[in-house]
Amino acid sequence: MMEEITKFNQRLAKQRKLSTILTCGLLVYGFIAAIPMFNDSVKHEETLYCNSSNLCEGSNIKHGISYLIDRERRNQLFDNNIRVIKILPPEDDKAFVWGIVSSLFLLSSYALSKSITNSQEKAIHSQFKLLKIKALENDLLEQAHINLFEFSKQNQAEITKQAIARQTSETIQAMKSEAELQLDHLNGQLQGELSLKSHELQIAELSKQIAENLLSEAELKRKLEKINKPMSDAKQSTADEQVKQILIEALKNHEDGWLWTIIKAVKPLWIIGEQGTGKTNTSVAVGLVRKYCLGVAVFRIADRHLNGANSKVWKLLEAKEKADNDLAIIEVLQDTYERRLKRIGLDLDDKQAEQFLLDEFTHLKDIDEETVKKFIKSTFSDTRKAKERFIGVTHLGTNEAFGDGTAAMRKAGSILIEKFTADGEKPLSRVVIKHGLADAQGNKLEDVEHTLPGWFEAFTIHKHFNDKPIDF
């Protein structure tokens, strides 16, 4: 290592010597080249002049730098009192070139000195790092050698102890009598059997502990499930109940709660109006509120346009049974008539109520008048006892649609809402409750004007109960 340091120092000394010679040479040449720059006559023109009142000879003749004389001659008094004798050119018109050359020599000298200084500084740092690494490596090797030697020495001592102990045991064993050997044999067997039994006992204890742990874990899981299930159900129930109550409060607060009164009523609900008044959408919206807020499932829907323009809105109700053509709807009317009679006989409670929505009712009388008449009379008289929440949609609310002799039954046993449109395409919020409402004293009200809230729309109501609550 010392030899390496010596060689490194010698290399640095040679570099410094060479750089010193070059730097000094550049400095000398730089100063020599700069000498002409210190004499103005070498660089500039000179003007010889004398006072015009004296004789221009000998010491009366003066000289000066031409551009300075010219500057002074701007003074009229000075210019009138001198006489220019001669203009002398510069002694060396390339003196500025020597100035540039001098600057280059001096800058080169500085750059060379700076470069060799930085280079040697980096080399010294690198050499120090290398020397530290080598010194650390030597220390580690030496420490490893010492540890290995100590480990080997300890192993040799341990092996020697074991050899001595074994030899001693063999000597003692050879000195024993036959009876002592047999006794040792019996003791060995007993010790072996005792160890085996002890091992089996430990295994049995561990198995018992494992079984107890598994039993405790199962019991704990059962208790946790029992505790968590009601909590999760309660949380879900609380969230659903809150969404439901928010909508109910909004319905109650809208125009004295007329819409909520109609929704919770058990009377059949008829919605009439021209095409484009949004009758189907409103009927589905009422059905959805009854489903989610009153817990009344939708059992059946019937509409000849069930799979057409109204298919998307009908799907929101998730009805159990559907009828989508005239013949199927007539069969549904007959089946509904018979089903109502059966349900009346069962004396059902409100929790077993169901919904039936019927659309495009106007023309059905022309297909099967007898079945339609039976269905109409049953609708006005049997739906309450059969626990059926009926919603019907038709274009007209006259005898032409419902049949002769039904006017009094309609007024007494149903609610009729008329909807409107201004252009035949966009529904208006205006509605007229033709009959079905009553005041606080029970007096029947007819042709009551109200409006539907803007958010009372089937898809909006469905989203409200499916993670997109309405912002009232």
pLDDT, tens only, 10-45? 887 888 888 888 888 888 877 777 766 665 555 667
Asked, for residue 320, whether it belongs to a domain, the answer is yes
Q: 282 and 215: one domain?
A: no
Burial 167-192 (b: 16+ CB within 10 A, else e): eeeeeeeeeeeeeeeeeeeeeeeeee
433 with 448: CB under 8 angstroms? yes
Residue 361 to residue 306: CA distance in whole angstroms = 13
What is the extent of the structural domain holding 231?
Answer: 184-239
Asked, for residue 246, whether it belongs to a domain, the answer is no
Q: 218 and 99: one domain?
A: no
Q: 200 and 268: one domain?
A: no
Lowest mean pLDDT among 190-199, 241-250, 334-343, 440-449: 190-199
Residue where a domain terminates, one of 108, 134, 160: 134
pLDDT tens digits along 321-340: 999 999 999 999 999 999 99
Q: 408 and 274: one domain?
A: yes
Q: Would the pLDDT of 5 be above 90?
A: no
Using CA atoms, how far residue 407 sits from 3, 331, 355, 359, 393, in Å, is 127, 25, 24, 20, 17
Q: 224 and 260: one domain?
A: no
**Encoded tokens for 430:** 């205006």
Asked, for residue 73, whether it belongs to a domain, the answer is no
Residue 138 to residue 28: CA distance in whole angstroms = 50
Residue where a domain terminates, one of 102, 117, 134: 134
Tell me which of 199 and 69 has the higher pLDDT: 199
Tell me which of 460 and 307 has the higher pLDDT: 460
321 with 299: CB under 8 angstroms? yes
Residue 49 to residue 65: CA distance in whole angstroms = 11
Q: 204 and 260: one domain?
A: no
Q: 362 and 329: one domain?
A: yes
Q: Would the pLDDT of 90 be above 70?
A: no
Residue where a domain terminates, one of 208, 239, 270: 239
- In the prediction, which pLDDT does 263 show? 96
Asked, for residue 365, whether it belongs to a domain, the answer is yes
Q: 259 and 400: one domain?
A: yes
- In the prediction, which pLDDT does 4 show? 73
pLDDT tens digits along 109-126: 888 888 888 888 888 888
Asked, for residue 14, whether it belongs to a domain, the answer is yes
Q: 393 and 442: one domain?
A: yes
In degrees, to the nearest 5, what angle opens at C-alpha 438 toward C-alphas 434 and 441? 155
pLDDT tens digits along 401-445: 676 777 888 888 899 999 999 998 899 999 999 999 999 898 999
pLDDT tens digits along 127-159: 788 878 888 888 888 887 777 778 777 878 888
Asked, for residue 72, whether it belongs to a domain, the answer is no
Asked, for residue 393, whether it belongs to a domain, the answer is yes
Q: Which helix (H) or strand (E) holds 375?
A: helix 369-382
Lowest mean pLDDT among 17-26, 233-242, 305-314: 233-242
Q: How many domains does the chain have?
A: 3
Q: 354 and 287: one domain?
A: yes
Q: 124 and 223: one domain?
A: no
Across the chain, mean pLDDT equals: 85
| Percent share of the chain, pLDDT over 90 | 37
Most confident of 81-90, 215-224, 457-466: 457-466
Tell me which of 220 and 49 has the higher pLDDT: 220
- In the prediction, which pLDDT does 211 show? 86
- CATH value at residue 392: 3.40.50.300
Q: 233 and 364: one domain?
A: no
Mean of pLDDT values over 278-300:
96
Lowest mean pLDDT among 32-46, 162-176, 247-261: 32-46
Asked, for residue 139, whether it belongs to a domain, the answer is no
Give the N- to C-terminal CA distance of the chain in Å, as an integer.
88
